[in-house]
Amino acid sequence: MFMFYVFSSLLIYFSGVYVFSSKRKHLLMVLLSLEYIVLSLFLLIVTILVGYDYFFPIIFLVFSVCEGALGLSILVSSIRSHGNDFFNSFCLSLC
Run means of pLDDT, 10 residues per run, the chain, 95 residues: 89 92 83 91 87 84 92 85 71 54
pLDDT for the residue numbered 87: 66
pLDDT for the residue numbered 41: 92
Model-wide pTM > 0.85? no
Q: Rounded distance, CA 53 to CA 35, Å?
A: 23
What separation in angstroms does the CA of 47 have from each of 16, 39, 50, 53?
19, 12, 6, 11
The domain made up of 2-83 is a member of CATH 3.90.230.10: no
